[in-house]
């Protein structure tokens, strides 16, 4: 059996990391470990955009390996983008082991709302690592979010169809 690792760099509160770990344990039913990583991600920074390139961060993360790791998701506090997009809430290696979620655009002064948004995006990106694609159900956590309103609309859980696919893949890790 392995673990899903939740790591952070930047100004991500320990309370958020621990809360997200509980969320992941509940939704994916796998053990979770929380850690921090030292990251030199300046190569990902684009000064013209004042943002960090998500794909470059994923490449950096792929060098972080734990022997008992099933997946790794990094929470970061800075704004992310991908080519052709103004910003991304997160990005994952489809069917791979690594994902990154930015808290930057998910912030809300109500901590409950803020944490819930982070949970949704963590679950969404981890879903991609387990081979799930975007879902047409706007309430499924796997629905594509192009705005914060779309993040707020969806659930932090998977629709029955996506849950069935996810449970099949997760059965190999339990």
| The pLDDT value given to residue 138 | 97
| The pLDDT value given to residue 1 | 72
Q: Apex CA 12: angle with CA 22 and CA 77, to 5°?
A: 120
Q: Are 90 and 99 in contact (CB under 8 A)?
A: yes
| The pLDDT value given to residue 111 | 97
| The pLDDT value given to residue 168 | 97
> Global pTM?
0.96
Q: pLDDT of the chain along its 174 residues, tens only? A: 799 999 998 789 999 999 999 999 999 999 999 988 887 889 999 999 999 999 999 999 999 888 899 999 999 999 999 999 999 999 999 999 999 999 999 999 999 999 999 999 999 999 999 999 999 999 999 999 999 999 999 999 999 999 999 999 999 987
Q: In angstroms, rounded to a whole number, what is the distance separating the alpha carbons of residues 61 and 37?
A: 9
| The pLDDT value given to residue 65 | 87
Catalytic residue (choose from 42, 82, 125, 150) = 125
125: annotated active-site residue: yes
Q: In angstroms, rounded to a whole number, what is the distance separating the alpha carbons of residues 153 and 140?
A: 9
If you search the block for the tokens 């929380």, which residue do you land on? 34
| The pLDDT value given to residue 163 | 98
Residue 40 exposed, middle or buried by CB count within 10 Å (0-12, 13-18, 19+): exposed
DSSP one-letter code for 43:
G
Residues 6+ apart with CB under 8 A from 59: none
Return the bridge partners of 101, or none.
75, 90
What domains appear along the chain, each with residue ranges and CATH number?
3-170 (3.40.390.10)
Q: For the chain, state the CA radius of gyration.
A: 15
Alpha carbons within 13 angstroms on the beta-carbon side of residue 88 total 22
Secondary structure (DSSP) of 106-170: T--SSHHHHHHHHHHHHHHHHHHHTT----S-TTSTTS--SSHHHHHHS-SS--HHHHHHHHHHH
């Amino acid at each position: 059996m392995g673990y899903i690792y939740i790591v952070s760099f930047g100004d991500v509160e320990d309370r958020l990391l621990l809360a997200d770990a509980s969320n992941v344990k509940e939704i994916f039913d796998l053990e979770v470990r929380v850690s921090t990583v030292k990251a030199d991600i300046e190569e990902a920074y684009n000064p013209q955009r004042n943002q960090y390139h998500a794909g470059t961060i994923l490449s950096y993360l792929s060098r972080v390996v734990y022997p008992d790791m099933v997946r790794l998701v990094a929470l970061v506090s800075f704004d992310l983008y991908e080519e052709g997009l103004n910003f991304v809430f997160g990005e994952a290696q489809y069917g791979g082991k690594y994902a990154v979620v930015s808290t930057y655009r998910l912030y809300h002064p109500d901590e409950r709302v803020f944490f819930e948004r982070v949970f949704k995006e963590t679950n969404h990106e981890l879903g991609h690592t387990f081979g799930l694609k975007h879902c047409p159900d706007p309430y499924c956590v796997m629905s594509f979010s192009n705005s914060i309103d779309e993040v707020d609309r969806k659930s932090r859980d998977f629709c029955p169809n996506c849950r069935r696919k996810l449970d099949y893949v997760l059965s190999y890790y339990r």
